[in-house]
Amino acid sequence: MLQINDQITIHDWELTEQFIRASGPGGQNVNKVSTAVELRFEAERSPSLPPAVKKRLRRLAGRRWTKEGALILFCDETRSQARNRDLARERLTELIQKALVVPKRRIATKPTRGSVQRRLTGKKQRSEVKNLRGKVQDD
Protein backbone atom coordinates (compact mmCIF):
# COMPACT_ATOMS: atom_id res chain seq x y z
CA MET A 1 0.00 0.00 0.00
CA LEU A 2 1.31 3.48 -0.95
CA GLN A 3 0.28 6.47 1.18
CA ILE A 4 -0.02 9.71 -0.84
CA ASN A 5 -1.67 11.94 1.77
CA ASP A 6 -4.29 11.64 4.55
CA GLN A 7 -7.16 10.95 2.13
CA ILE A 8 -5.46 9.05 -0.70
CA THR A 9 -3.83 5.64 -0.50
CA ILE A 10 -2.97 3.44 -3.45
CA HIS A 11 -3.62 -0.27 -2.99
CA ASP A 12 -1.21 -2.98 -4.08
CA TRP A 13 -3.55 -4.33 -6.78
CA GLU A 14 -3.30 -0.97 -8.60
CA LEU A 15 0.50 -1.27 -8.89
CA THR A 16 2.43 -3.74 -11.02
CA GLU A 17 6.20 -4.00 -10.87
CA GLN A 18 8.37 -5.66 -13.46
CA PHE A 19 12.12 -6.00 -13.10
CA ILE A 20 14.29 -5.70 -16.20
CA ARG A 21 18.02 -5.77 -16.88
CA ALA A 22 19.36 -2.24 -16.73
CA SER A 23 21.66 -0.66 -19.30
CA GLY A 24 24.78 1.37 -18.71
CA PRO A 25 27.80 0.88 -16.43
CA GLY A 26 27.94 -1.88 -13.82
CA GLY A 27 30.11 -4.62 -15.32
CA GLN A 28 28.95 -8.21 -14.88
CA ASN A 29 26.17 -7.03 -12.54
CA VAL A 30 24.32 -5.49 -15.50
CA ASN A 31 24.42 -8.75 -17.46
CA LYS A 32 23.29 -10.99 -14.60
CA VAL A 33 20.88 -9.09 -12.34
CA SER A 34 17.55 -7.47 -13.27
CA THR A 35 17.81 -4.26 -11.27
CA ALA A 36 15.77 -1.79 -13.33
CA VAL A 37 12.12 -1.47 -12.37
CA GLU A 38 9.09 -0.65 -14.47
CA LEU A 39 6.25 0.50 -12.23
CA ARG A 40 2.78 0.42 -13.76
CA PHE A 41 -0.06 2.26 -12.00
CA GLU A 42 -3.60 1.64 -13.27
CA ALA A 43 -4.61 5.28 -12.78
CA GLU A 44 -7.78 5.29 -14.90
CA ARG A 45 -9.30 2.37 -12.95
CA SER A 46 -8.11 3.63 -9.56
CA PRO A 47 -10.97 4.25 -7.10
CA SER A 48 -8.67 6.29 -4.83
CA LEU A 49 -8.24 9.21 -7.25
CA PRO A 50 -11.03 11.70 -8.06
CA PRO A 51 -11.72 12.36 -11.78
CA ALA A 52 -10.22 15.89 -11.68
CA VAL A 53 -6.96 14.54 -10.23
CA LYS A 54 -6.86 11.79 -12.89
CA LYS A 55 -7.23 14.43 -15.61
CA ARG A 56 -4.38 16.57 -14.22
CA LEU A 57 -2.25 13.45 -13.70
CA ARG A 58 -2.77 12.48 -17.33
CA ARG A 59 -1.56 15.92 -18.45
CA LEU A 60 1.48 15.78 -16.14
CA ALA A 61 2.41 12.22 -17.17
CA GLY A 62 2.62 13.01 -20.88
CA ARG A 63 4.17 10.11 -22.81
CA ARG A 64 4.25 7.91 -19.72
CA TRP A 65 0.42 7.58 -19.91
CA THR A 66 -0.78 4.61 -21.98
CA LYS A 67 -3.93 4.26 -24.10
CA GLU A 68 -5.34 1.87 -21.47
CA GLY A 69 -5.09 4.61 -18.85
CA ALA A 70 -2.03 3.32 -17.01
CA LEU A 71 0.93 5.36 -15.85
CA ILE A 72 4.32 3.71 -16.45
CA LEU A 73 7.44 4.84 -14.57
CA PHE A 74 10.87 3.40 -15.32
CA CYS A 75 13.87 3.61 -12.97
CA ASP A 76 17.37 2.21 -13.50
CA GLU A 77 19.44 4.82 -11.64
CA THR A 78 21.07 2.58 -9.04
CA ARG A 79 22.55 -0.93 -9.02
CA SER A 80 20.14 -1.96 -6.28
CA GLN A 81 16.77 -3.41 -7.21
CA ALA A 82 15.21 -2.34 -3.91
CA ARG A 83 16.49 1.25 -4.25
CA ASN A 84 15.19 1.52 -7.83
CA ARG A 85 11.82 0.23 -6.63
CA ASP A 86 11.71 2.86 -3.86
CA LEU A 87 12.72 5.62 -6.29
CA ALA A 88 9.95 4.67 -8.73
CA ARG A 89 7.38 4.70 -5.92
CA GLU A 90 8.65 8.10 -4.71
CA ARG A 91 8.32 9.51 -8.24
CA LEU A 92 4.77 8.20 -8.47
CA THR A 93 3.92 9.80 -5.12
CA GLU A 94 5.42 13.15 -6.22
CA LEU A 95 3.53 13.05 -9.53
CA ILE A 96 0.21 12.37 -7.80
CA GLN A 97 0.88 15.11 -5.24
CA LYS A 98 1.50 17.58 -8.08
CA ALA A 99 -1.77 16.48 -9.67
CA LEU A 100 -3.61 17.13 -6.38
CA VAL A 101 -2.80 20.86 -6.56
CA VAL A 102 -5.65 22.71 -8.25
CA PRO A 103 -4.20 25.38 -10.58
CA LYS A 104 -5.28 28.98 -10.06
CA ARG A 105 -7.73 30.32 -12.62
CA ARG A 106 -6.38 33.22 -14.61
CA ILE A 107 -8.44 36.38 -14.37
CA ALA A 108 -8.47 38.29 -17.66
CA THR A 109 -7.65 41.97 -17.18
CA LYS A 110 -7.74 45.01 -19.44
CA PRO A 111 -4.55 46.96 -20.04
CA THR A 112 -4.52 50.39 -18.38
CA ARG A 113 -4.98 53.51 -20.49
CA GLY A 114 -1.43 54.60 -19.67
CA SER A 115 0.09 51.31 -20.85
CA VAL A 116 -1.88 51.46 -24.11
CA GLN A 117 -0.74 55.07 -24.62
CA ARG A 118 2.92 54.16 -23.95
CA ARG A 119 2.74 51.25 -26.38
CA LEU A 120 1.25 53.39 -29.16
CA THR A 121 3.77 56.21 -28.56
CA GLY A 122 6.62 53.69 -28.76
CA LYS A 123 5.24 52.28 -32.01
CA LYS A 124 4.94 55.79 -33.48
CA GLN A 125 8.54 56.65 -32.56
CA ARG A 126 9.79 53.38 -34.04
CA SER A 127 7.83 54.09 -37.24
CA GLU A 128 9.45 57.52 -37.56
CA VAL A 129 12.94 56.04 -37.10
CA LYS A 130 12.27 53.50 -39.83
CA ASN A 131 10.84 56.16 -42.19
CA LEU A 132 14.01 58.24 -41.76
CA ARG A 133 16.04 55.27 -43.03
CA GLY A 134 14.52 55.73 -46.49
CA LYS A 135 16.36 57.09 -49.53
CA VAL A 136 17.33 60.73 -49.49
CA GLN A 137 15.61 62.75 -52.22
CA ASP A 138 17.58 65.26 -54.26
CA ASP A 139 15.74 68.49 -55.10
| Residue-level pLDDT at 24 | 66
Give pLDDT tens digits for 26-82: 667 767 778 888 999 988 888 888 899 889 999 998 899 989 889 999 988 888 888
pTM of the model: 0.70
For 91-115, the pLDDT digits (tens) are 999 998 999 899 899 999 999 999 9
DSSP 30-95: HHH---EEEEEE--TT-SSS-HHHHHHHHHHHGGGB-TTS-EEEEE-SSS-HHHHHHHHHHHHHHH
The percentage of the chain sitting over the pLDDT mark of 70, rounded to a whole number, equals: 95
Domain ranges in the chain are 2-100
Q: What's the pLDDT at 125?
A: 96
* CATH architecture for residues 2-100: 2-Layer Sandwich (3.30)
pLDDT reading at 137 higher than 90:
no
